[in-house]
Amino acid sequence: MSPIHERVDVELAERQYQILIGRALLARPDSFVECAAGDDALVVSNDTVASLYADKLLEALRPTFSRVQLLKLPDGEQYKTWESLQQVFDALISSASDRRTTLFALGGGVVGDLTGFAAACYMRGVPYVQVPTTLLAQVDSSVGGKTAINHPLGKNMIGAFHQPIRVVADLDTLDTLPQRELIAGLAEVIKYGPIADTEFLRWIETNVAALLGRDKAALAYAVAKSCRLKASIVGVDEFEVGRRAILNFGHTFGHAIEAGLGFGTWLHGEAVGCGMVLAADLSARAGLIDPAYAARLRRLISSVGLPINPPVLETKRWIELMRLDKKARSGDLRFVLLDGEGSAKVGPVPIDLVTEVIESSRR
């Protein structure tokens, strides 16, 4: 069996958990042997991922759990809803699952966020394990305990902080990932460079071809490095009252794109990639970074195949949607802004400057 490539510890104030990163991890019972609080397990997945990997995971869990069940949800961001959440609760209640039942989220960000939220709510909290199968989920959404579903007016507006007890990132699942999904995941990889690590940004720029070509060593490094960077930030700000908010670089614009077009029209990573272009432009217009640095990020984001020009939305609609952002205060817009290479902060921005960025992007 393949050894674990990396083990990253997420150190929180009162507890810690591990992120296991490697190949052939999903089918190994020892990846999950310490994840049992009781005898029952519920694996939540979607139709697409379940057909590829559910049997392997169920088999790996059977030596540890006496009862293992599978729930398959529809595939897509548009199903990150109350209705899907209710299906998880229905499965748990109808099988008389108790507080020691462990949930396993097998899939991408939608499955991970929704399953984590279900785990946070069921009987006021049960344990869950993230088993991310997309690049975006492996480098970002599976780590840190932010769980949620969408509301028609806004992305991830209903949720809770609920940390997993383990993350098992099997790099072999990236072999079956559609190229569009791989590219979308690279947005969340790129994000870490401008906000926290200039050397990593240079590494990404040098290794674009390897990442797009699914070079195994390059992907393994990108996942492990991203997880280490996120773990270091989450460890000092678990509930996003301060520094953790910088992880939302590009997300204020990005979430507005997703909600404005309808969830699922653009992938989350595509919206975030474009959002980072706009946020870098906003930072430059605010006098915080050199315009050449914003242009550099724009080139990198374009080079991996992410959109750099936003969809056509009325300026008024942009502002309405961004006022719903979780960083906003009393309706005032706040953005993650770059204030140097490898450095970011959260701050208010005048409406006229935001409008200038939006309207200039249409030219």
Residue ranges of domains in the chain, CATH in brackets: 4-175 (3.40.50.1970), 179-360 (1.20.1090.10)
φ and ψ at residue 349, rounded to 5 degrees:
-135, 135
Please tell me the distance from the alpha carbon of residue 321 to that of residue 47, in angstroms, as a whole number: 31
pLDDT computed for residue 4 by the predictor:
63
Q: What is the pLDDT along the chain (363 residues), one digit of tens a residue?
A: 455 678 999 999 888 999 999 999 999 999 998 999 899 999 999 999 999 999 999 999 999 999 999 999 999 999 999 999 999 999 999 999 999 999 999 999 999 999 999 999 999 999 999 999 999 999 999 999 999 999 998 899 999 999 999 999 999 999 999 999 999 999 999 999 999 999 999 999 999 999 999 999 999 999 999 999 999 999 999 999 999 999 999 999 999 999 999 999 999 999 999 999 999 999 999 999 999 999 999 999 999 999 999 999 999 999 999 998 888 887 789 999 999 999 999 999 999 999 999 999 977
pLDDT computed for residue 300 by the predictor:
98
pTM of the model: 0.95
From residue 263, alpha-carbon distances to 256, 259, 267 in Å are: 10, 6, 8
Task: Determine the 3-state secondary structure of 336 from DSSP.
Answer: strand
In 140-290, the DSSP E strands lie at: 146-151, 154-161, 166-170
Neighbouring C-alpha atoms within 13 Å toward the C-beta of 118: 34
pLDDT computed for residue 1 by the predictor:
42
pLDDT computed for residue 50 by the predictor:
98
Please tell me the distance from the alpha carbon of residue 280 to that of residue 307, in angstroms, as a whole number: 14
Catalytic residues: 124, 146, 188, 230, 240, 244, 248, 251, 255, 268
